[in-house]
Structure formats: structure tokens, C-alpha cells
Amino acid sequence: MKATTKRKESVFRKIGYFFSDKEKLEPTLVIIFTALFSILLGVGLIFLVSKDPVQSARNFVLGPFMRTYNIYYLIIAMVPLIFTGLALCIIYQLHYMSLIVDSSFYMGAVIATAIGINVALPAGVHPLLAMILAGLVGGLIGILPAILRIKWRANELVSSLMLNYVFYFVGSYIILYFLRDRNQAILASLPFRSTFALPKLIPNTQLHAGVLIAILFIVLVSIFLYKTRWGYQIRVTGANPRFAAYAGIPVATVVILAHFISGFIGGVGGAVEMAGLYRAFIWQTNPSYAWDGVIVAMLAKRNPKYVPLSAFFLAYLRVGADFMSRRGDVAFEFVTLLQGFIILILASDKISNSLKIRRLRKAALASEQESKARTTMPSTEGNTL
């Protein structure tokens, strides 16, 4: 009995500590404030452009929860956002701005497609092999901007954007000339083998086991960044590269390792997307999940623990806009405008800076009052004597 009561007390103490610790609570507040602002802004824009604004706003705000299918759709939409958000959390811990995760994700899907078509393996092993190989290819792609930055001081943002175009056309070439289904009128690959598909969590739905894999990666990335020596080196290198080098940390090796792991996560995400949701490769254009991952990682403040919350928010906007466009007169591209406003809000850091300023102001006032109390204590004691 005593052991169980102590455990309960420790759990409640941890929960109370979370809500009292402003540093840990800040990312959650940023996500909530950004979500409320985006929803209000979206409703305002709907009233400006829609002929039936009340119904369109209702579909946008409540659409993701109106039907069970929409809830499943919302969870499925979170999976690629979680993978790209986790990958970019590692990059942003280094204070790098590489977007090569887009190529890692896309090429991971292409590699998984080749394995899903040409390799015969038992169920379970088949998608696992595809994830591993796609992750390795994605990791090798991910280190390219890091090498260009280290060797020739090339800006990683520019080089990654250029390489994204290169690998998109490389992947399209592989699909078009080696894996294409000639019987289809559209550009699509041959169908996957049945053993390649991830199991469904709920029968007769699209909710697949990739959700559990994404949750597993959230835990693994959190442990890697905050509980391992390599994660500590990545964070120290991102905070101050000169200090890291002075402390004996191999900065170049750490940068390449971080980019490889980030690319590996992106490649696995592409394989999970193929094995969980598709029966063939049918992407006509690059889905550009990396740009969505930027929003997810920025909302999460580079902390993988908050990636599910920010991915849920972005998926909520996506599903709401999709539901609204199907039943109203507002196009789905409406959500792109909202994402642009979100990026502007996060880039300005107004919310987080205001929270920090308030916290610092309270701490300064508290310390000032404490110092005044200490200085007045001797004089009062002298008067009493």
C-alpha cells in the first residue's frame, strides 16, 4: 500500500512540476496560442471569401471530428509529419537549416517501392527490410549538405534545396523507366506485393501500424537527444561550436552523424508511408513533407517530445481544410495560406519572447524584493535593540 501511494504521489508531483516549470510548459503554450490564432484567422478568411461562411467555418473547425473516418484520416496524416518533424528537430539542434529531409523522405519511398515490387519476403520482414534500406539511403543523402558545408563552406539551405530537385528527378526517373506500370494511364508503379503492406490497426480502415512506428521513433529520438552522449554532443555543438571543439568534441563528425540520423528518419518515414497507405507508387509530384516538418519542428521548439502535439495541430488544419473544400466553396489551398502565417508567427518568435520577457521580469522583481528585504533587516533589528 505504501509503495503504491508513493508512486501515485510521485506521478502527481511530476505532473505538478511540469505545469509549474515554465521552461517545459512554454512549447505547449506556443502551440496552443498558435493553434487558436490560426483557427481564428482561418474563420475570418472563410467569412471573407465564402458564400456560406457559417457552414464552411463549421466544416473547417469541426470537420476532423464529425465522422470516425475523419478521425482516422487525422491520425494517418500525422505520421509523415511526425517523421519529418523529428528529423528536422535533430538538424535544428545543430542550428543548421538543411531541408534535405525532403529528398530523404522521397527517395526512401522510391527505395521502398523497388523492394515492395521486386523482393519476395514474408509479411512483417518485407516492410522492415524496406524501412532499413530506405533509412540507409536517406541517411547517405542527408549527409551531403553537411559535407558541402564542412569542406567548402557551402550554405546548407541553398545546397539542400538544389539537391531536392536533383533527387526528385532521380526518383521520378527510377519510377518511370524501371518500376512503372505500363498498363496504367497515369504515372504509377507496378503494384506492391501483398506481404509489403503494414498491418491495419482497425479492420476495414486505413489506420495502419505506421502510427505505432512513429510513436516508437518519438521515444527513440527523445532518448537519443537527451539521454545519450551523442545527443549531448549534438546539442553542445549547436549551442557553441567553438566551445565544443575546445572541449574535445569532434564537431565535423557530430554534424555528419546528426545529418545521417536525420536523413535515416526521413527515409524510414517515406518507407512507412508507402507500406502503410499505398498499393503502388502514385505520387505525381513531390509531396514536400519537409516544409510541413519545418512547421512541426519549429512549433515543438526542437524538442521531439512536443512533435506529436504540433503534428496533430497541423494535421487538424489539413483535414479540416480538406473536409471544408469537399463540402463548400473554399479551396483546399486555403490551408497553405494559413501555414504561411504560422511560419511568419514562429519566425518572429513573438509568443515565446513575450513569455520569456514576462518570466524574466517576474524573476527580476522577486530578486529585487528579496534584496530589499535583506537590506532592511539589520536596520529594524538595530532599532529594536
Is residue 87, in this structure, part of any structural domain at all? yes
Residue 268's CATH number: 1.10.3470
Stronger pLDDT, 11 or 26, i.e. the higher one: 26
Is residue 284, in this structure, part of any structural domain at all? yes
How long, in residues, is the chain? 385
- pLDDT of 289 reads 86
In this prediction, residues 18-40 reach a mean pLDDT of: 72
Is residue 283, in this structure, part of any structural domain at all? yes
At 64, the amino acid letter reads P
* pLDDT tens-digit readout, 244-287: 999 999 999 999 999 999 999 999 999 999 999 999 999 988 88
Tell me the pTM.
0.86
* pLDDT tens-digit readout, 121-175: 999 999 999 999 999 999 999 999 999 999 999 999 999 999 999 999 999 999 9
Is residue 222, in this structure, part of any structural domain at all? yes
Range of the domain at 223: 27-348
- pLDDT of 7 reads 55
Is residue 382, in this structure, part of any structural domain at all? no
In this prediction, residues 29-34 reach a mean pLDDT of: 81
- pLDDT of 244 reads 94
Is residue 289, in this structure, part of any structural domain at all? yes
Residue 385 banded pLDDT, cuts 50, 70, 90: very low
Is residue 198, in this structure, part of any structural domain at all? yes
Is residue 1, in this structure, part of any structural domain at all? no
Q: How many domains does the chain have?
A: 1
